[in-house]
Structure 1
Amino acid sequence: MNNIPNINVGIVAVSRDCFPMSLSNRRREAVVSSYREKGLEIYECPITIENEKDMLKALADVKAANCNALVVYLGNFGPESSETLLAKNFDGPVMFAAAAEETTSILADERGDAYCGMLNASYNLKLRNIRAYIPEYPVGTPTEVATMIEDFLPIARTIIGLQNLKIISFGPRPQDFLACNAPIKALYSLGVEIEENSELDLFASFNDHANDPRIPDVIKDMEEELGTGNNMPGILPKLAQYELTLLDWAEAHKGCKEFVVFANKCWPSFQTQFGFVPCYVNSRFASKGMPVSCEVDIYGALSEYLGVCVSEDSVTLLDINNTVPADMYDASIKGKFDYKPTDTFMGFHCGNTPSKKLSSCSMKNQKIMARSLEPNQEPNITRGTLEGDIAPGEITFFRLQSTADTVLRAYVAEGEVLPVPTQSFGSIGVFAIPEMKRFYRHVLVEKNYPHHGAVAFGHFGKAIFEVFKYFDVADIEFNRPASMMYPTENPFYR
């Protein structure tokens, strides 16, 4: 993954001048030791902050050490102004954590009172309008604080990634896809840049890549990836040409940003003009950590990238697509998994999921488009999908979205892909999310979310939820357990 930040985290201890600095130093050293026992590295700033002059020295020190994420550690009560000014002036995400008292023996003379100091720190952060990450319970032993720092890494990586991201789009959204249409204004509050282009720009660049000398090497790589699933080798030259087009565009147009994702038009005129469907190329970009969302879904691309940063792995974008038939549920799920029929559904897209996330894969044509574009004939311009059942395992379904009035809202739900053959087409899987029926009605439908959801392969709800909180997303929903009602849920219906 070369499209996400590398995190170099540092830790700075702070000390209120009426408390012994040695207490903060000793506790900081214990945290660093516990963190390194995990096999992780952290820069330990030797300067403990008591005042603003110390703050400037510590700031210069962590910058010289190339830290791009920082832990402000309250080894004792801490100097509220200096510690929050450090967060204000540090160019990167900052986490605040505090020390728990170790033993009864220290209470008489070396009590740190960091439990109290964290309250003042949070108050001052708010007064100064400073964003900082504060763990769910930010006070702990050295081992517990070390775990907090480890949990901070994916959050810091995502914050830096979004603030250095450019979303490149091609083409207006397809007709009747208003669901994927959202104002771009909210992107700027996240630090995300966007470049919107015409399909003609993409087509012209694609034509300029005809006979590109790199095409044979890309074809060879595709052949190796597809293996026995290379059912339509004749389409690979065009797909390779398209892949190089996007890679070159990303490099030439990233501008002042470091990372790039795409939100591209992929139908209906794409097939007739380009002569293929781009799904397989999109899947390969997802494998590189540079997602290409379907149907110019800008917030879908943003959500996918967020998932890449959190998981350090490939993600996909799927339609929350169709119900699981009763006979499939009875034959393959009932009595084998602890899910009701309404907890299950199928997630689908034409063929954009990375091959390594499929149980098996093969090159196919887009069956739905072929009905209208190539009826009753051998597929030609609809070739290019990567089809296969999504591999079973844990997943997180999530999305960050702007409302029509440019307010950010989000959802996140953990579940799994079941080891159930789909007997269908496309990149598709049988998904199970506890209480999906209620989540579908009272979040997805009621709050006007589009049908696209980002899928991370693993349970990452904790980190994703914290990222949403960091960016002040006020409305963050999740699949509530049966014991917890949604505000608009009818108690008599249940």
Structure 2
Amino acid sequence: MPYKHTLTFGIIIGTRNYFNSALAEDVRTTLLKTLTDKGYSYVILDPAETPTGSIETREDAKKCAALFRAHKDHIDGIIVSLPNFGFEIGIINAISLAELNVPVLVQACDDENDKVTLDKRRDAFCGKLSVCNNLYQYNIPFTDTTFHTYSIHSETLKQDLDYFAGVCRVVNGLRKARIGAIGARPAGFQTCRASEKILQATGITVVPVDLSEILGAAGKID
């Protein structure tokens, strides 16, 4: 895959209907603005597409997955943001049904000690545990953030987005790569051992070339 200067992320804002929807709306607005400011593009459902404006039910997940599939050639990674204890079913189904096979970042917002009333409580700490457990069950690799939870307005978010962008560039850049292996591995360096079969399972093909062929070709150069 050629190097892309601008990455595009599929965005999933998870929620649960008995939490204050205003918290999810704030996270959506802030995250999208941060992505734009950082020079990233994104694909996200219009808030009018679901009852809560975020992803909660399997029906919400189907809509999100269909949107992601329609942009599969452009989406480099998926970002899951949890403004509250998001409903894991909607989130995991959105990712699994989309079948993009791209890196996933899971970010969650923390509670403030003086804001734990019914209309301000988030409980995203536990929600992230549930979502990540589901990703593990579905055998979907994911990237964690620097801290388990933090404010969506934190500078740490910007750092994590840049780190995740690097992950996406490496993963997608190596997909279907062909790597030349020149000569035999030195017997005294077992640290150089690698399994071609494991690499092939991830889409990376190793093409071995005998060193004598390289030397022979080099010798013919004027």
Bucket of the pairwise TM-score, normalised by the shorter protein = 0.7 to 0.9
Taking the aligned partners of 1:126 and 1:187, their CA distance within structure 2 comes to 21
Aligned CA distance change for structure 1 residues 73 and 176 (closer, same or farther; 3 Å) = closer
Matched, 1:127 2:137: yes
**Contact kept in structure 2, 1:10 and 1:70, CA below 8 Å:** yes
| Equivalence for 1:55 | 61
Matched, 1:152 2:164: yes
Matched, 1:64 2:8: no
Taking the aligned partners of 1:43 and 1:56, their CA distance within structure 2 comes to 15
Taking the aligned partners of 1:89 and 1:154, their CA distance within structure 2 comes to 25
Give the TM-score taking structure 1 as reference length.
0.37
| Equivalence for 2:88 | 80
What is the Cα deviation at residue 87 of structure 1?
Answer: 2.7
SS at match of 1:96: strand
Taking the aligned partners of 1:140 and 1:178, their CA distance within structure 2 comes to 43
Taking the aligned partners of 2:41 and 2:217, their CA distance within structure 1 comes to 51
Listed as ranges, the matches of 1:100-115 within 5 Å are 100-101=110-111, 104-105=114-115, 107-115=117-125
What is the Cα deviation at residue 176 of structure 1?
Answer: 5.8
Taking the aligned partners of 1:53 and 1:101, their CA distance within structure 2 comes to 28
Deviations 1:174-225 (A, max 9, x none): 78687555431221343312344x55xxxxxxxxxxxxxxxxxxxxxxxxxx
Listed as ranges, the matches of 1:395-414 within 5 Å are none
Please say which structure displays the higher CA radius of gyration. Answer: 1
Taking the aligned partners of 1:269 and 1:162, their CA distance within structure 2 comes to 26
What is the Cα deviation at residue 36 of structure 1?
Answer: 2.8
Deviations 1:122-151 (A, max 9, x none): 222222222111223142212333432222
Residue-pair matches, total: 208
| Equivalence for 2:197 | 185
* Greater relative contact order, per chain length (Cα 8 Å cut-off, separation 6+): 2
Alpha-carbon RMSD = 3.0
| Equivalence for 2:9 | 9
**Contact kept in structure 2, 1:34 and 1:146, CA below 8 Å:** yes
Aligned CA distance change for structure 1 residues 46 and 102 (closer, same or farther; 3 Å) = farther
Aligned CA distance change for structure 1 residues 137 and 60 (closer, same or farther; 3 Å) = same
Taking the aligned partners of 2:35 and 2:205, their CA distance within structure 1 comes to 35
| Equivalence for 1:292 | none
Among 127, 130, 146, the residue aligned to 1:117: 127
Give the TM-score taking structure 2 as reference length.
0.77
What is the Cα deviation at residue 168 of structure 1?
Answer: 4.0
Taking the aligned partners of 2:33 and 2:136, their CA distance within structure 1 comes to 31
The structure that is strand-richer by fraction is 1
Taking the aligned partners of 2:35 and 2:196, their CA distance within structure 1 comes to 40
Listed as ranges, the matches of 1:195-214 within 5 Å are 195-196=207-208
SS at match of 2:131: helix
Structure 2 counterpart of 1:12, one-letter code: I
Taking the aligned partners of 1:29 and 1:106, their CA distance within structure 2 comes to 22
